[in-house]
């Protein structure tokens, strides 16, 4: 299907309402991005989301948009709490895949002499890859259920980090309403051995250097300075979240038929938010999201241990503290102003980041004057960005913005491009060390597989739905 698209300005494009659409589509992109998108199905997915019952405002896509399951990755959609629906395709398989950023008191010069040893230690201490697990962390089924209820707070209560960490996590690291009883035994089984692991694919742990500060005043509030060592952790709910999604897709297909919801694509299967099926999915999804928060919290603790071990510095000397931790794949109940009225909405963010403005009560008090930190990873060979949320995002995107660079090549196509390249050597020549469980993952994650994240965040800033603060350069990358 050819999707009609109309340019609004240099970074906004409208998909006009027609046919069975209940609203229009809104895509944030530049001309080059739109030209590429017209060769694939992601724009059709934006259009399809606009047909779902109870949608409020446009069906949106961020500049890192690419094809996904049901919803496009980079998709944002709001649904009325009483009349709308919830769709697992609007969250994704990796529930609460997200990013956490740590700052330190170190400069890049401090770690360069021991960078290889540090990379080796991180690779040893933080399990990565398909089926990875750390054998000294074993939990019972009853403890796992507590993880699903308590999230990052469970990890802190077991000695992984401290209470101050929780102040700098979206939702303080615990989504309310989680019900472990609604998570299948198979999902629990898959997750139990994977707590505290990175997984594979685009997940990573990255030691970085603050390469450039764009906004010194905001960077100072976030505790960032030029040349500083930071650490990014990108992972989610692992096999547990995947299984929750898989389980509930079957239930949602039945629910769509039960409630007479016409679907342009069966991958958009959904249920009314007020229905038993809708409530069950949200409760199971919250449990998987809390597992992901705990996962990143445990990994944070092992990162701190690794730095202490190699640099022989105390926690007080390292000051490896959490700047922020954000969800990328989530459906959350939030209150937003729309057309002059406050509305209770379920915001689906699939490959999208919450970007609340200065003054918002859910932004940590430390950052309330500048806005919620927004963490945008790029690719392992270039750079990542730190932004903050804006009032523009609150007014136009329900406080949402992009989540990363966005893939341009499938994993199969990336492997083809990588043939004949010694990627590890090429990265090392640029001062980037990589440790990975296998060459296949490295090949799939080459820079050429992704859009240039600098272009993505430039569109975000021009559109006013995010403000660029700093650019981070990779020094050492740990992948599955």
Would you say residue 237 lies in a domain?
yes
- Establish if 1 belongs to a structural domain: no
Degrees (nearest 5) of the Cα angle 390, 391, 392?
A: 85
Residue 220's CB: how many other CB atoms inside 10 A?
13
Please name the helix (run of DSSP H) or strand (run of DSSP E) that holds residue 284, with its range, or none. Answer: helix 276-311
Give the count of alpha carbons within 13 A of 242, CB side only: 9
Cβ proximity of 88 and 246 under 8 Å: no
3-class state of residue 288 by DSSP = helix
Specify the DSSP element, H or E, that contains 445.
none
Q: In degrees rounded to 5, what are phi and psi of residue 220?
A: -65, -40
259 and 380: one domain? yes
Contact by Cβ (8 Å): 5, 43: yes
Compute the radius of gyration of the chain from its Cα atoms. 21
Q: E strands along 126-258, which residues?
A: 204-213, 228-235
Q: Are residues 222 and 339 in the same domain?
A: no
Q: Are 356 and 369 in contact, with CB atoms under 8 Å apart?
A: no
Output the pLDDT for position 415: 81
Give, as one character, the DSSP assignment of residue 397.
S
- Do 375 and 284 have their domain in common? yes
- Give the pairing type, strands 6-9 and 12-15: antiparallel
Tokens of residue 374, six digits: 């927004």
Query: What does pTM read for this prediction?
Result: 0.96
Is 405 a member of any domain? Answer: yes
* Cross-strand pairs, 437: none
Confidence (pLDDT) at 1: 67
The answer to whether the beta carbons of residues 71 and 350 sit under 8 Å apart is: yes
Judgement on whether residues 161 and 287 belong to the same structural domain of the protein? yes
* DSSP code at position 267: G
What's the structural domain count of the chain?
2
Any idea what the CATH number is for the domain that residue 437 is in?
Answer: 3.90.1860.10
Question: Is residue 380 domain-resident?
Answer: yes
In a shared domain, residues 48 and 111: no
- Decide if 149 is inside a domain: yes
pLDDT of residue 445: 81
115/76 same-domain check: no
Residues 294 and 194 in one domain: yes
Q: Which residues contact 228 (CB under 8 A, 6 or more apart)?
A: 103, 104, 106, 107, 108, 209, 210
- The CA distances from residue 420 to 202, 337, 423, in Å, are 21, 53, 9
Task: Write the pLDDT tens digit of every residue in 162-183.
Answer: 999 999 999 999 999 999 999 9
> How far is the C-alpha of 4 from the C-alpha of 59, rounded, in Å?
14
- pLDDT (tens place) for every residue of the chain, 480 residues total: 689 999 999 999 999 999 999 999 999 999 999 999 988 899 999 999 999 999 999 999 999 999 999 999 999 999 999 999 999 999 999 999 999 999 999 999 999 999 999 999 999 999 886 666 666 788 999 999 999 999 999 999 999 999 999 999 999 999 999 999 999 999 999 999 999 999 888 899 999 999 999 999 999 999 999 999 999 999 999 999 999 999 999 999 999 999 999 999 999 999 999 999 999 999 999 999 999 999 999 999 999 999 999 999 999 999 999 999 999 999 999 999 999 999 999 999 999 999 999 999 999 999 999 999 999 999 888 999 999 999 999 999 999 999 999 888 877 788 888 887 888 888 888 889 999 877 777 888 888 888 899 999 999 999 999 999 999 999 999 987
Q: Which of 395, 408, 389, 398 is nearest to 460 (CA)?
A: 389
Paired residues of 77 in beta bridges: 348
Instruction: Identify the pLDDT of residue 428.
Output: 85
Q: Which residues contact 170 (CB under 8 A, 6 or more apart)?
A: 98, 324, 325, 326, 327, 354
The H or E element containing residue 469 is: strand 467-479
In a domain, 231, yes or no: yes
Strands (E), 328-383: 329-338, 341-350, 353-354, 373-376
Residues 47 and 141 in one domain: no
Tokens describing residue 188: 């629990």
User: Rounded to whole angstroms, how far apart are CA atoms 189 and 3?
Assistant: 43
Do 29 and 152 lie in one domain? The reply is no
Domain shared by 145 and 272, yes or no: yes
Which residues are tagged catalytic?
Answer: 403
CA 364 to chain CA mean position, Å: 19
- pLDDT for the residue 370: 98
In whole angstroms, what is the distance from residue 140 CA to residue 437 CA? 27
CA 385 – CA 376 distance, rounded (Å): 5
pLDDT of residue 70: 96
112 plus 134 within the same structural domain: yes
Inside any domain, residue 470: yes
**pLDDT (0 to 100) of residue 410:** 79
**Residue whose tokens read 């989610």:** 236
Q: In which domain, by residue range, is 75 found?
A: 6-92+333-352
Distance CA 443, CA 449 (A): 9
From the list 373, 233, 239, 383, the residue with the least C-alpha distance to 306 is 233
pLDDT at 133: 62
User: Nearest CA to 2 among 34, 38, 49, 56?
Assistant: 38
Q: Are residues 158 and 203 in the same domain?
A: yes
**If residue 432 lies in a helix (H) or strand (E), which one and from where to where?**
none
Q: Report if residue 154 sits inside a domain.
A: yes
- Element spanning 71, H or E: none
CA 428 and chain centroid, separation: 27
3-state secondary structure of 74: strand
Summarised one tens digit per residue, pLDDT across range 43-77 is 999 999 999 999 999 999 999 999 999 999 999 99
């Amino acid at each position: 299907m050819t999707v009609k698209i109309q340019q609004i300005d240099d970074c906004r494009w409208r998909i006009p309402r027609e046919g069975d659409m209940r609203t229009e589509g809104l895509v944030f992109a530049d001309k080059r991005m739109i030209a590429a998108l017209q060769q694939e199905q992601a724009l059709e997915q934006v259009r399809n989301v606009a047909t779902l019952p109870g949608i409020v405002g446009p069906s949106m896509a961020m500049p890192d948009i690419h094809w996904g399951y049901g919803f496009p990755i980079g998709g944002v959609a709001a649904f009325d709490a009483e009349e709308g629906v919830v769709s697992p395709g609007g969250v994704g398989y990796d529930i609460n895949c997200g990013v956490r950023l740590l700052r330190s008191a170190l400069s890049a010069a401090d770690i360069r002499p021991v960078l290889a040893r540090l990379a080796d230690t991180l690779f040893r201490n933080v399990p990565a890859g398909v089926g990875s697990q750390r054998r000294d962390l074993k939990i019972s089924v009853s403890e796992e259920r507590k993880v699903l209820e308590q999230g990052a707070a469970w990890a802190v209560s077991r000695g992984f980090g401290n209470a101050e960490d929780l102040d700098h996590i979206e939702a303080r690291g615990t989504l309310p309403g989680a019900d472990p009883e609604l998570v299948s035994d198979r999902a629990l089984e898959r997750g139990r051995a994977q707590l505290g692991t990175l997984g594979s694919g685009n997940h990573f742990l990255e030691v970085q250097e603050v390469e450039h500060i764009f906004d010194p005043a905001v960077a100072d509030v976030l505790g960032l300075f030029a040349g500083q060592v930071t650490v990014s952790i990108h992972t989610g709910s692992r096999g547990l979240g995947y299984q929750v999604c898989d389980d509930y897709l079957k239930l949602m297909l039945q629910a769509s038929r039960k409630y007479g919801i016409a679907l342009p694509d069966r991958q958009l299967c959904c249920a009314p938010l007020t229905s038993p099926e809708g409530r069950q999915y949200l409760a199971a999804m919250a449990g998987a999201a809390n597992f992901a928060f705990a996962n990143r919290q445990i990994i944070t603790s092992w990162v701190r241990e690794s730095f202490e071990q190699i640099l022989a510095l105390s926690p007080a000397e390292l000051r490896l503290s959490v700047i922020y931790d954000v969800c990328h794949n989530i459906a959350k109940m939030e209150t937003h102003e729309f057309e002059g009225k406050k509305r209770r909405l379920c915001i689906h963010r699939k490959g999208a980041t919450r970007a609340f403005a200065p003054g918002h009560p859910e932004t940590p008090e430390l950052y309330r004057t500048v806005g919620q930190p927004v963490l945008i990873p790029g690719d392992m060979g270039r750079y990542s960005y730190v932004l903050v949320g804006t009032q523009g995002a609150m007014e136009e995107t329900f406080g949402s913005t992009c989540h990363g660079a966005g893939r341009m090549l499938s994993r199969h196509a990336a492997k083809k491009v990588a043939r004949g390249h010694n990627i590890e050597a090429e990265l090392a020549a640029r001062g980037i060390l990589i440790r990975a469980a296998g060459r296949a993952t490295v090949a799939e994650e080459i820079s050429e597989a992704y859009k240039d994240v600098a272009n993505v965040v430039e569109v975000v800033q021009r559109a006013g739905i995010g403000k660029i603060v700093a650019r981070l350069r990779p020094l050492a990358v740990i992948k599955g």
